[in-house]
Structure 1
Amino acid sequence: MLQSHIHQAPYEFFYLRRISMISGNRGNRRENVAVGKTASQSSYVDTSISANNAVDDNTTQLSCILTATNQSYTWWEVDLGEQYFIHEVVIHFRTGWTWRRNGIQVYTSISPQQSNNGQPCGEQISGNMDGSGIPDVPTRTCNVMGRYVTLYQATYNRGTCGDYNCDGTTAMDFCEVLVMACTPNVKYGANCDMNCIQRKCASSSASCDVQTGNCGNGGCRPGYQGLDCTQACASGVKYGSNCIKPCDDRHCAPSGSYRSTCPAATGKCYWGCDPGWKEDDCTQACESGVKYGSNCMKSCDARHCAPSGSDKSTCPAATGKCEWGCTPGWKGDDCTQGTNLLSG
């Protein structure tokens, strides 16, 4: 009888940790997000055999599913509960009933019970009608966002069991379906081996694209670049948010024969700016006619320039030099030094 071939073994005895067996280090790679989720199927050969048997984390031959025979098509589906970036689907077939493998197609979808209208994951599982040439544990690559994973079968199969023919029709039976995916906002990348928390996004609340780790419109913290903001600026070449500012565009004052380094985050000039420039990275020119000198600390209005007719001297940002000299009692290129002359 069928029940002697398929039954649900005691969970405590057959519970297996397939995540670690399939994925290597669980903390660094893909996770089977189907375990314990709700499954359904189009038909049952026996309603006591639950569709959830295929997501109970038990890959032995003692906890499997079986759809009804003599149907025009059959399907099995698991609801992951939320959308994931699904990398691949791994199927553990029953090893003694190979003629129920040929023709199965794996689909993903955002809406439930899409039958064969979802997004196909790779090619159809195909081989001979008796299932020869089809592995016991095939894998299909998806690389798509989805909430539902569906296995669909509409191929009429027949196999040979000893001295009599075994009619597989469109029935499916398998023991476990693993849906390998990245956990949203925790891991990302082709192998789910990148940690969202290790990105250097400008916003601490930035979303984490499961494929690229993209930080979104907020961009990167100063000193980092790339979609996922994990690449540091090239030392001494670029700096700032997304590394878009060239170090050579700064106007740093030297200290003797030494030029300031270029910190990747700020580009700060450690010994101040050349005359006529200001801000930490010395890239902002003094406001014309208002300030001048190193770090734009001197006021043009504080000079005592001699006029030329009705014209007042301009105020060069670097020096503040008075073009026509100084008014009586003042000296220096910028006419800010008193001469201390005694009057009459």
Structure 2
Amino acid sequence: MYFVLIVGVFVHLTSDSSNALLVNIAWKKPATMSSVFSNETPATNAVDGNTNSVYGKGSLMHTKNNEASAWWRVDLQTQIESPLVVIYFRTDFTLRRNGVQVFTASVPSYTPWEGSLCHTVRDEGANIPDVLNTTCPGKWRYLTVYTNTSNDAHGAILDFAEVEVWLDHECNNGTYGIDCNNSCKSRHCVTSSVQCHPLTGQCAGGCQEGWMGQDCLQECTSDMFGQNCSLRCADRYCKGVSICPPNGACSNGCQPGWQLDNCTQDFWLNMALNKPTKMSSLFIRTSTGRLGVDGDTTGVYRAGTMMHTQLNETSAWWQVDLQTQVESALVVINFRTDYTARRNGLELFTGSEPSTEPTQGMLCHAVKGRPDGKDIPSALGVTCPDTWRYLTVYTQTGNDEWGAVLDFAEVKILVCTSGKYGPNCARDCSDRHCKTSSSSCERVSGTCQGGCKDGWTGPDCSKENESPEDDTQADHALSPGIYALMGAVAGVLVTLAATGAMYVCLLRQGRLPMLKKFIYEKQVKGASDLQPRDQHEMKKYDSLDTDVYYNVITAASNINAGSAQPDTDKVCGNDYAGLDGTKLDNQNYDVLETKVYENA
């Protein structure tokens, strides 16, 4: 038989090929102790899986000196029965092994010696093995290592490397855990399986987005997302303020220059990285301006990654020299995330020459929002136009009691990497249709310097010319139904025109009996109301084009009631049936056309 150690788990293979799993139940479980010798010797060192037993290697627990007693305890977080307990003693100093006692209990106790005494170590320290193995019977949950024995001049002390609690373990029917009460199907693994590790339920391929832990049952905290909760929400470049779902998707899209649903991928070259900086003042010696261009976007002050100006100032500024000119570059500021009140009021200035005044140059952007800054995104992106070399971040806004202060994590000044151009650097130089093809190009517009190939237009030769043949083909593409409708409309119009012409013809020939009677009555009535006019008045009316009255009187005096000329005597267009006047009358009628009907 032999043992294989795999992250705190022994697998014991027997000669008959049956499998038995030995599990170290104490691994990574909560541990406490009576006192701590130093920050490098906490209680958790004894359950971290490291059995290195030499002091100074960061693997020992160690209580204080000169104490009357000392204890260390682990909570296994479940009841177990008769496991094997293994203690790895310190090997570079052996005097403190004698007098060590091991107690077990089902409930926590106020005194370390309460419960069942499992084992007492008695002998000269040098004669005690480096590794203690003992079986502690019964059912219990808590294990305590205790001593009140002083084996040297420094009192009762505990200093050992590791405590292991081994238990045979096996689960059936797709379950796992100490009590086999967790279902393998309930895990959020990338690769699902009905079988899993009988103790930990570990997902071999990692967790789905939004989940973490060995068995992928722990949801991501609110500031993390992605597989195994490995990505920070603060590292997304969302447009506006966006919640952070398990997949990190930005609800309002991405800021310029970023892509994917979670706005974490770009095609940018950071021109500000590790470039020279200067600032108006220092908060402390380590909060220098270079932290604003070191590539670390961590926005927590205690992480030591932020620049920070002095408090109680009326204004503050920070400047970076790119050491080269850039054109229409994207500026991204990663703000401090554990305190948001100093975002509002920041101004960005650009310039081609160094200046003694921070506000000289061109104002690119002013950050405006609430004084507490909570409506301003933690990563702000803005494109600063024209050609420039220096960027200055400036503020004279006091959003809290400490005056105008700058404290941000990082400033990035981004241009497209070689081979990319355009908005978000999303276009490939090689996709243009230039006369002279090239895999690199101008990073803003991608302009083809030598012009476009035939059939293409635009600065970057990406727009295809429209062919006149396309319009002809579009006309031919009209459906038969459209042609039928157009024919029907044309037919109706022709019919209406012919009917109107016939009506006018019949009207002028007087072949409409009811209308002739109506005209006669109107003429007679009109004539009876007219008064004689002398020649002078007639001439006046003639000049006013109102001679209709004169002609109507003349015509009406020659009309016999109910009489009419035969319709067959005249032709359409020159027939004056209904008027028995002279040729002169007819000529007058020609001039008046149809006015006789209106005025009569």
Provide the TM-score with structure 1 as the length reference. 0.51
Q: Distance in 1 between matches of 2:469 and 2:439?
A: 27
Is residue 2:314 matched to residue 1:59?
A: no
Q: Distance in 1 between matches of 2:419 and 2:390?
A: 20
Is residue 2:347 matched to residue 1:105?
A: yes
Measured against aligned partners, the alpha-carbon deviations of 1:275-332 in whole angstroms (never above 9, x if no partner) come to: xxxxxxxxxxxxxxxxxxxxxxxxxxxxxxxxxxxxxxxxxxxxxxxxxxxxxxxxxx
* Aligned counterpart for 1:137 among listed residues 369, 379, 395: 379
SS state at 1:95 partner: coil
1:45–1:28 Cα change, 3 Å:
closer
Is residue 2:282 matched to residue 1:44?
A: yes
1:93–1:40 Cα change, 3 Å:
same
Q: Distance in 2 between matches of 1:21 and 1:96?
A: 16
Q: Distance in 1 between matches of 2:338 and 2:265?
A: 34
1:134–1:191 Cα change, 3 Å:
closer
Measured against aligned partners, the alpha-carbon deviations of 1:46-88 in whole angstroms (never above 9, x if no partner) come to: 3432211112221112200001223332111222232223453
1:135–1:194 Cα change, 3 Å:
closer
Q: Distance in 2 between matches of 1:28 and 1:236?
A: 40
SS state at 1:80 partner: strand
Q: Distance in 2 between matches of 1:85 and 1:27?
A: 22
Alignment correspondent of 1:220: 452
Amino acid at match of 2:445: T
Gaps of 5+ in 2: 1-230, 238-257, 471-600
Greater share of residues in helix: 2
SS state at 2:423 partner: coil
* Aligned counterpart for 1:84 among listed residues 326, 341, 345: 326
Q: Distance in 2 between matches of 1:28 and 1:55?
A: 18
Q: Contact 2:419/2:439 (CA < 8 Å) preserved in 1? A: no
Is residue 2:359 matched to residue 1:116?
A: yes
Larger Cα Rg: Structure 1 or Structure 2?
A: 2
1:34–1:121 Cα change, 3 Å:
same
Q: Distance in 2 between matches of 1:17 and 1:201?
A: 42
Alignment correspondent of 1:230: 462
Measured against aligned partners, the alpha-carbon deviations of 1:114-135 in whole angstroms (never above 9, x if no partner) come to: 612232233333422x444434
Amino acid at match of 2:275: K
Which stretch shifts more, 71-80 or 203-212?
203-212
Q: Distance in 1 between matches of 2:259 and 2:373?
A: 29
Shift of 1:143: 4.1
Alignment correspondent of 1:180: 414
Alignment correspondent of 1:271: none
Provide the TM-score with structure 2 as the length reference. 0.31
Q: Contact 2:342/2:405 (CA < 8 Å) preserved in 1? A: yes
Aligned-pair identity in percent equals 35
Measured against aligned partners, the alpha-carbon deviations of 1:211-263 in whole angstroms (never above 9, x if no partner) come to: 322223x322345322112334556869xxxxxxxxxxxxxxxxxxxxxxxxx
Alignment correspondent of 1:70: 312
Alignment correspondent of 1:192: 425
Alignment correspondent of 1:321: none
Q: CA RMSD in A?
A: 3.5
1:235–1:118 Cα change, 3 Å:
same
Alignment correspondent of 2:404: 170
* Aligned counterpart for 2:273 among listed residues 14, 35, 39: 35
SS state at 2:291 partner: helix
Q: Distance in 2 between matches of 1:156 and 1:54?
A: 21
Runs of 4+ in structure 1 off by over 6 angstroms are: 25-28, 235-238
Q: Contact 1:99/1:168 (CA < 8 Å) preserved in 2? A: no
Amino acid at match of 2:462: T
Q: Distance in 1 between matches of 2:311 and 2:281?
A: 9
Q: Contact 1:215/1:228 (CA < 8 Å) preserved in 2? A: yes
Alignment correspondent of 1:96: 338
Structure with greater contact order relative to length (CA < 8 Å, sep ≥ 6):
1
Q: Distance in 1 between matches of 2:286 and 2:292?
A: 14
Q: Contact 2:326/2:388 (CA < 8 Å) preserved in 1? A: yes
Alignment correspondent of 1:127: 370
